[in-house]
Structure formats: structure tokens, C-alpha cells
Structure 1
Amino acid sequence: MPSSRTILLIDDNPAVARAMEIAFRMAGHRLDTAAGPEDAFSRLAQRRYDAILLDMNFTPAESNGEQGLACLARIIADDPAACVVVITAHSGIRIAVAAMKAGARDFAMKPWRNAELIAKVDAAIARGAPAAPPSLHPGAPPEPARLLGDSPAMHALRDLIRRVGPTPAGVTITGPPGSGRTLTALALHAASAQADTPPPRIDLRDEAAWARLDQGGGTAILRHPDRLDGIAQARLLDRIPAGLRCLAIADGTASLDPALRRRLATIEIAVPPLADRGDDAVLLARHFARIAAERFGRPAARMTEAATAAIRAATWPDEVRGLALAVERAVLLSEDGMIDAAALAMPAPVAVATFGAAPDANFDLSDAERVMIEAALREHRHNVTHAAAALGLSRGALYRRMARYGL
């Protein structure tokens, strides 16, 4: 009997999800469900699955499979070894053929018999299952290194990683702290031939950590080479083994000695700040909320319209890292799984705060305040009392702001 597997189903039909979950559980497998591509990429960023069952349409009026093919292309681009079995209607044989050409391992036609579908998934896994990397504990695959986001800036970043990752070129990753520089380095490594060996992460400000450079070839992630003085940079250049691929994380390359820059920065990859990623902030907030709810045993988190508007308009001091912290805090503070703008605006360690009172609040209120107020009023059908409570304001304070903005 096949060993227990963990499967991800990407399907927007709750009835299908429930039926499949029962069938796979009875077969000894675990089935997680994603209602669409955004939820799927969030889950894939958290863990690897033995197989992915992918429906090809997520909008009731659509039947051309374009949504599924786009999702498949992203999955395979992020992980060429992913085991994807697509699900399509009998009339969709053309879509199934296109999916197979795009990297799917097999396809199943609707309607299916559970036993046949489970056997097909088991066979697809067995055909392409890679050997477990010897450097890892049994049953513990490398952690995913997936960069979430649908903005043009993130599409360009992922495309650059796919082109540069498989090469031995030295790469210096710049961008604001907290924007995802380390995750970008890990994604570059995951695209390389050394992906099965976790790279050491060396903070070059700690000279004692330099000894890890002597471990030989492979890849190393070097943090803060730009913060070394000229003498230390020259010593570092002499110390780096010839066969070591270096992925450096720095605030910039201008302060690097030219010789060291040539060694570490054959190419520079700048991670875009969250402010340049459009609605990616909302997508990331939902991702962090789902993870936090699972981690802390809280109800599945939902965000009010005002909270979504606040996230979209915010300037997060610590970039993605700051957004993650704010969302995790909001999930913990929520009693019913609903996250409102007041919970997001609450700065630690203050227990109770209004969203205009604290100078260290989590977003730039001068830019976001009107957007949040409009969203809260729409959401609560212009009930000022309810909108004020959602925003963490008194009724009088909200009335004053409404007058200020002509609302």
C-alpha cells in the first residue's frame, strides 16, 4: 500500500473539496484545499506537497482553462519537480494536452471515480519522486522559497531569479530591510544545481562566522559585506574559496571594493519595496493571517473592507516583515476571526490605542486615514457608531475627521 501522502487540491467548489478530503483520508492520505490560485500559492509558500490536484477553471462562466494553465505555469516555474495532476471536463481534452505539455504529470477527467483518481495520483508521485537529499532528515524536504505577489515588480523579480538562479554567478541582493532579501537569496539557491544542500548563512559582521567560508564549494549567503571597511573587504576576498557561489545581501553595492564587487555582484538584484507592489500587500496580509490562525489555533481570519483599505494605503516601516507582525498581532487580538483597521493600527506594546494617537503606528496616517474612513463607512452602511468602533475612534473623533475630509 502506498505510504501516506500530503496532497493539495486547488478547486473553488466546496462540495468537491469535502468529497475529495474524505476519499483521500480514507486512502490514508491528507488533503489540503485551496479555493483558488492566491490561496494555493500561500500554502505552497509554507510547505511542499507530494502532489497537487489542479482544477482548470475558477470562475463559473469560464471553461477555457486559461486560469488553470496560468496557475500551472507559475507552480512549475517555482518548482519544476512539482507533481501536478490536472482535472478537466470530458470536453477539455485540448486543455489537458496543453497542461501536459506545460509540465503536468497526468490528468483526470470529470466525473471521476475516487479509487481511480487516488491511484492516478499515487502513480504520478511514484513516476517522478526524487530521491531524498542526503543532507536532510528523512521526511523533511527543503523549506519552500516562493516569492508571493502578482504585481509587475514581483513578476519581473521571479523572472530574473529563474534566469540567474541556475548559473554559478555571484549575486548581490539589495533593497529595503524586511522586503524579502533573504527569501530572494533562498529562491536563487532553490533554482540552482545545489538546491538539495541548505546554504550556510554567514553574517560577515561576526568575524568568528567567517570560518564557515572554509567549508568548500556549494553556495553561501553572505550578509552585510557592504558594512565592512576596506581592509576587511580585502581579507574577505582572499578568504572566499574559488568554488563557492556567493549570494550576498547588502543595502547597496556602492561601498564595495571594486574587486569584491566583481566577485559578489556579477549581477545585482534589487527587491522592490512593498510600496511599489500594488495590491501585493493585501495578498501578503491574507497569507500571514492564514498562517497565524493555524499557528495560534485561532479562527480563520477575515479582513474588513476598512482593514484591507488600510493595508493597501499603508507605509510599513519594516516592509513585509512589519506587515507580517501587524497581521499576526491582529489575528491574536481578534475574537471572532474578523480583523478590522483598529486591530492593525494598534502599536506594540500599547494595549489600547486609537489609530491617530501614536506616532509609531504601523502606517502613514496622513496618506491612509481618508481611505480607511471611507471604507469603514461603506462597510457599516454609514453607521457612524459602528464605523468609529471598527476604526478605534470615538464618535466625536470620527465626526471631526469626516468634516475635515468632507465626508
Structure 2
Amino acid sequence: MVLKEATILVIDDDVDVLTALRLLLKPLVKEVVIEKNPSNINAQIEQKSFDVIILDMNFNGLVNTGNEGIFWLNRIKEKKPDTDVILITAYADIDLAIRALKEGASDFLVKPWKNEKIIDTITSLLKAKKSKASGKNIAQPSKNAIIGESEAIKDVFLKLKKVAPTDANVLILGENGTGKDLIARALHDNSNRKDKPFVKVDVGALTSSLFESELFGYKKGAFTDAKEDRVGRFEAANGGTLFLDEIGNITLGQQVRLLTVLQNRLVTPLGSNEAIPIDIRLICATNIEPRILADEQKFRKDLIYRINTVDIIMPPLRDRGTDITLLAKHFISVYADKYNKTPFTLDSGFISKLKKHDFPGNVRELQYVLERAVIMCDGDALKPEDLVFSSIERQTNKTAVTTMNLDSIEKNAILTVLEKNKGNVSKSAKELGITRAALYRRLDKYEL
């Protein structure tokens, strides 16, 4: 058994916790070392190689912020990046534990824990490490992959295939979370500039004072904090692709400066009189609707024409049908691997609940929902109760413009009526004014 070969370090300032874990693990593993004082962690990991470290999140009984646990987790990962660290936390610390997982922890135990859960967690981590060492781990799909087979996403793929090899400027439109940045990257990776720089700038986040210095660069002494020359993003992307995200949020004054550079293909760093020629392929993205961009009081038409040789519209997830299932399986696989979980089976109710959600946060919301589900699931099967949807996204969506896509309207109407009639197909068909057979065909079409 893998456990028999393991050396475990337990760090907690609660003697009862140390004693309980030592008594539990001692008969099962090669060695258990217990440590009450976290200040001795460095000495412990320097003296001995540990396969798994079990670390408490809080060492100060008066201040339960969990920051000490995060601090010591970072110290351990700096010195021993390949060591698996399991956190011990309370129910109130779940969000903090999830943050710690993203910073490098392998898993967490919730107080009060179940002994079987501890043993299963350690065993899974050790098996994953052994499998990785022997080269048997299965390669996962790229996190930048654009996944889908729906008609809506096929239209995007078709445009991408035609436009990518050209130098045409592209404007990517779509709601937040639809994957506009993935399309920008795909355009670059499939272009003749793929071996040159790809530089992304969130221009919507730049203040007026930072806009020019970030995009065009500056010379030493150009302003108070200019201690040395700095190359701007345009110059850094020379020969490659410049991706300006959230382009719809820049001011009219910033639009004028940007238009001048794009027309002349020259940038002049702040504090310099010398213009520098640039050769870039420009890609822009925004979540602002085209009708708003068409308003000259908010966005210059001459700039729109300059950046919009071709537009690519990313469809919202609710319009992508079967892609929800494909994406779900992809993200579950990715996060199961990331958090050293065994492969999951998906309960039919789990998939059904996913399909019924309208995902106002789109693919990004799906991704975060599934990451949390994988983290919180104790077994090897994901069930409906493992899905927790964000109330923040729903609140945000109240101000969104209602989709006019006919398939979406029909799907939402069917879902509303089915929910009202508690799943009774006969009543729902009658209320919708269609036959039972017609309703079944639509249920099959939308995978409901």
C-alpha cells in the first residue's frame, strides 16, 4: 500500500489535534512527525523529506483569519514545491481554504473531520504523485482550448479560420465571460505572426494618466516617477499582435490618441520627440453592444472603422446548447487533475441542473461553479447539490438586455412552463399550445 511508504508532518498548535492524527496515521504510514510551533517548519522540512504535510489554518486562537496558514503554506511551497500540503480548516474558513488551494495547497480537511476522509485524501495524493513520477498521468486538454460543437460556435470557428491568417484588424464582441480573450489568442496563434509577441492590455482599466505611458512608453525624466526609459505596449508588440481588451470603455480623448497612432503607424514615447514606426496586428474586444458603439457621443466612428475590419461575435453560453456538457466535462477533468482528485462520474441530475441554469456569467461562471464543485465534493460522483450558482451573477444579469435569439426564447419558455407544472409534460404542452410529441422533440433538441 502507498501509505506504508509515506512520511507525514502534522503542524497544529492544538495538542489534541496532534495526538488524534498521530494515533490515526501511525499504524498506516512509515512515519508521523508532529509539530506544535509553526516557526519550526523550516527546520523540519530541511531535516527530513515529507510526502505530505498537514497544516492548520489558524495558530492564534484570538485572531482566526487564516493568514498564518497561508503564510506558512507559501513558505513550504517556496522550499519544497513538490510537497503536498493539506490544510485543516473550520466550516467558516471554506472560502479561505479555496483561496489557499489556488495558491498551491493540495486539499483541505474540515473540522470535525472523518478519519476515512483523511486516509482517502492522503492516499489519493500519494497515488497521484506516484503516477506522475512514473509518467502515467494523462495529459489534460489545454486550458486555452476553445471547446464546442454547437452551430453558434461553429460560426465563430469558420470566421476564425478565414481571418486568422490575414493581418486584418478584428473586433471581438460578446458578453462578459464568453471567452473573447481565447479568440484573440487563437487569432494570433493561427496567424503569420504566431512566433512574434502577443501583448494584451486591459485599456478599460487604464486611467487617463496611465493610458499614454502604458501604450506608448516614456523616456527617463518624462515625469516625476520616470526613473528609466520604458517601452510601451505598442512597441513591445512590434512584429506581433496587440490585443486591446475592453476597448469600449476608453474616453473620447483616449480614442483620438489611439486613432492617430493607428493611422500613422507611429508612436512617440512621452518625453521624446522621436516617432517610432510600429508593425502590429490589432485585435480589440468589448462587451458593449454594437448599438452603443455606434453612438458618436460615446465612440468615434472613424476609430470603429479602423479597428473593425472584421467582427467576431462570441455567443453567450445559453445559446450554445450541447456545448455546456462538453465544457463541463472539460473543466471537471482539468480541476480534478489540478486538485489531485480521482476521476468523477456525473450524476444525471447534475447535468440536468447545469442545463437548466441560464449562466448569466457565461463560460467563466461555468468554470468557477465547476471548480468549486470539484473542490467541495468528497466522493467520486458529482451530484446536483454540489452545484452552487452565484447570486452575484444573477443580480448583475437583471440589468442585462434580454436575448432576442429565438432558440433561447423558446428554451426559456419551455423551462419556465415545465418548472411551473413541476415537470408534467402533458400540462406543459397544453399551456404552450403544442402537442406532447412536439414538446418531446424540443426537449430532445435542447437536451432538457
Q: TM-score, normalised by structure 1?
A: 0.52
CA distance in 1, matches of 2:355, 2:244: 33
CA distance in 2, matches of 1:368, 1:297: 41
The 5 A counterparts of 1:21-170 are: 30=135, 43-46=140-143, 145-170=144-169
CA distance in 2, matches of 1:187, 1:250: 17
What letter corresponds to residue 279 of structure 2 in structure 1?
G
Query: Any unmatched runs of 5+ in structure 2?
Result: 1-132, 216-231, 266-277, 398-411, 424-448
**8 Å contact from structure 2 (residues 196, 239) kept in 1:** no
CA distance in 2, matches of 1:260, 1:361: 29
CA distance in 2, matches of 1:311, 1:276: 14
Aligned-residue CA RMSD (Å): 3.5
CA distance in 1, matches of 2:394, 2:180: 28
Task: Report the secondary structure of 1:307's partner residue.
Answer: helix
> Which residue in the other structure is 1:236 paired with?
258
**1:214 equivalent among 235, 241, 252:** 235
Listed one character per residue, the Cα deviations across residues 28-62 of structure 1 (whole Å, up to 9, x for unaligned) are 9956669xxxxxxxx4434xxxxxxxxxxxxxxxx
What letter corresponds to residue 239 of structure 2 in structure 1?
G
> Which residue in the other structure is 1:399 paired with?
none
CA distance in 2, matches of 1:292, 1:341: 18
CA distance in 2, matches of 1:167, 1:305: 44
Asked if residue 278 in structure 1 is aligned to residue 321 in structure 2, the reply is yes
Task: Report the secondary structure of 1:222's partner residue.
Answer: strand
Asked if residue 318 in structure 1 is aligned to residue 361 in structure 2, the reply is yes
CA distance in 2, matches of 1:368, 1:279: 21
Displacement of 1:297 in angstroms is 0.9
What letter corresponds to residue 218 of structure 1 in structure 2?
G
Distance 1:226 1:32, change over 3 A: same
Distance 1:368 1:183, change over 3 A: farther
Query: Any unmatched runs of 5+ in structure 1?
Result: 1-27, 35-42, 47-144, 350-357, 375-407
> Which residue in the other structure is 2:4 paired with?
none
> Which residue in the other structure is 1:339 paired with?
382
Displacement of 1:348 in angstroms is 8.3
Task: Report the secondary structure of 1:299's partner residue.
Answer: coil
CA distance in 1, matches of 2:382, 2:135: 29
Listed one character per residue, the Cα deviations across residues 308-358 of structure 1 (whole Å, up to 9, x for unaligned) are 011112111211000010111111111112111111136589xxxxxxxx9
> Which residue in the other structure is 1:251 paired with?
287
Distance 1:196 1:369, change over 3 A: farther
**8 Å contact from structure 2 (residues 336, 374) kept in 1:** yes
Task: Report the secondary structure of 2:284's partner residue.
Answer: strand
What letter corresponds to residue 323 of structure 1 in structure 2?
L
Displacement of 1:243 in angstroms is 2.2
**8 Å contact from structure 1 (residues 204, 222) kept in 2:** yes
Greater C-alpha Rg = 2
Displacement of 1:146 in angstroms is 3.0
**8 Å contact from structure 1 (residues 203, 222) kept in 2:** yes
Listed one character per residue, the Cα deviations across residues 105-155 of structure 1 (whole Å, up to 9, x for unaligned) are xxxxxxxxxxxxxxxxxxxxxxxxxxxxxxxxxxxxxxxx43100101111
**2:372 equivalent among 329, 333, 342:** 329
| Farther-moved stretch of structure 1 (296-305 vs 176-185) | 296-305
CA distance in 1, matches of 2:148, 2:391: 27
Distance 1:298 1:360, change over 3 A: farther
Task: Report the secondary structure of 2:198's partner residue.
Answer: coil
Displacement of 1:367 in angstroms is 4.2
CA distance in 1, matches of 2:383, 2:196: 42
Displacement of 1:229 in angstroms is 2.1
Distance 1:264 1:335, change over 3 A: same
Displacement of 1:163 in angstroms is 0.4
What letter corresponds to residue 180 of structure 1 in structure 2?
G
Asked if residue 302 in structure 1 is aligned to residue 323 in structure 2, the reply is no
Distance 1:30 1:162, change over 3 A: farther
Displacement of 1:360 in angstroms is 6.4
Deviating above 6 A after TM superposition, structure 1's stretches of 4 or more consecutive aligned residues are 358-362
Asked if residue 180 in structure 1 is aligned to residue 202 in structure 2, the reply is no
CA distance in 2, matches of 1:359, 1:214: 41
Displacement of 1:226 in angstroms is 1.4
> Which residue in the other structure is 1:20 paired with?
none
Distance 1:286 1:156, change over 3 A: same
> Which residue in the other structure is 2:248 paired with?
226
Q: TM-score, normalised by structure 2?
A: 0.47
CA distance in 2, matches of 1:232, 1:276: 34
CA distance in 2, matches of 1:368, 1:180: 31
> Which residue in the other structure is 1:57 paired with?
none
Distance 1:149 1:333, change over 3 A: same
